[in-house]
Amino acid sequence: MEIEETKEKIIKTATELFLKDGCKRVTMDYIATSMHISKRTLYEIFANKKELLKACINTIHDEMEVNRNHLNSQVDEPILLALYLMHNTAVANHKYDTFQEDIQRYYPEIYEYFSQKHTQLFHQELSKALEEAQLKGILRPNVDLNQVFNTIATYMHSCRSESSKTQKDEWLLNVRETLYTYMRGLMTTDAILRYDAQKERFQQLFNKNEINNHIE
């Protein structure tokens, strides 16, 4: 039990340091010193920095999944879930933008693995929500869901480069409004009226369940 607790503390501290100072600058020695533990203890749990970095990223992904499941247990409206997935992915991109760039530059094989893992999970969950929305008559029957996903993925990738140039709240509002307007254009007339009336409630749920409220 003590080893597991130490492991969790190492991952938490290392993640904070990687986000603050960059994964290139943060060394194993620096992590051990910051935690006031011996290098031997650190290396007994993590053989090298790459192994520790993978553990940190895995923990981030796990916490993001817990966050998604938290909302899934509260809401059964597929369009809201779809918008929430897009919203929180945008928040995560903003929060971890520099961290992702750092990993991509110095540890491309780690970046590629986790990027594919995240994309697959995002595709799986978003596709499920969109399919359900179409079955329930919320999205028009002639909407090509594969094209919708590709459009969303392309947009979110392109707007990520702007995230560091704009204040978070302003940038996130622009992203959210763009995504909502796009999804609104795919809905049936009845669904548009129903969801426009609930937009304020959606915003409250977004704020309550935003990823930053669960991952710090």
94-139 pLDDT, tens digit each: 888 888 889 999 999 999 988 888 888 888 889 999 999 999 999 9
Q: Which of 126, 125, 99 is nearest to 114 (CA)?
A: 99
Does a structural domain hold residue 124? yes
The answer to whether position 52 is within a domain reads no
92 and 197 both lie in a single domain = yes
Specify if 55 maps to a domain: no
Q: Are residues 30 and 100 in the same domain?
A: no
> Are both 68 and 41 inside the same structural domain?
no
74 versus 193: the higher-pLDDT residue is 193
pLDDT attached to residue 56: 95
Q: Is the dihedral of CA 60, 66, 70, 72 positive or negative?
A: positive
Evaluate whether residue 53 is within a structural domain.
no
Residue 210's pLDDT is what? 58
Q: Which has more pLDDT, 159 or 50?
A: 50
Q: What is the mean pLDDT of residues 88-99?
A: 82
Residue 97 counted as domain residue: yes
Domain match, 33 and 64 both: no
Q: How does the average pLDDT of the chain come out, rounded?
A: 86
Which amino acid does the sequence have at 134?
Q
Q: Check which CATH number belongs to the domain holding 17 and give it.
A: 1.10.10.60
Structural domains in the chain (count): 2
Question: Does residue 26 lie in a domain region?
Answer: yes
Share of the chain above pLDDT 90, in %: 49
- Identify whether residues 161 and 105 lie together within a single domain: yes
Sequence-distant (6+) residues with CB within 8 A of 164 are 94, 97, 98
Same structural domain, 31 and 71: no
66 and 170 together in one domain: yes
Q: Are residues 38 and 105 in the same domain?
A: no
Residues 126 and 178 in one domain: yes
Domain of 88? 60-213
What is the per-residue pLDDT across 158-215, written as a single tens digit (0 to 9) for each? 877 665 555 667 887 888 889 989 999 999 999 999 888 877 777 776 666 555 543 3
Give the pTM: 0.80
d(CA 203, CA 63): 22
What pLDDT is attached to residue 208? 67
Q: Which of 24, 47, 70 is the last residue of a domain?
A: 47
Q: Is residue 140 a part of any domain in this protein?
A: yes
Question: Percentage helix, strand, coil, to 5, in the chain?
Answer: 80, 0, 20
Question: Does the pLDDT value for residue 7 go beyond 90?
Answer: yes
Residues 117 and 175 in one domain: yes
Is residue 14 assigned to a domain?
Answer: yes
- Judgement on whether residues 112 and 146 belong to the same structural domain of the protein: yes
Whether residues 92 and 34 fall in one domain: no
Q: What is the CATH number of the domain that holds 207?
A: 1.10.357
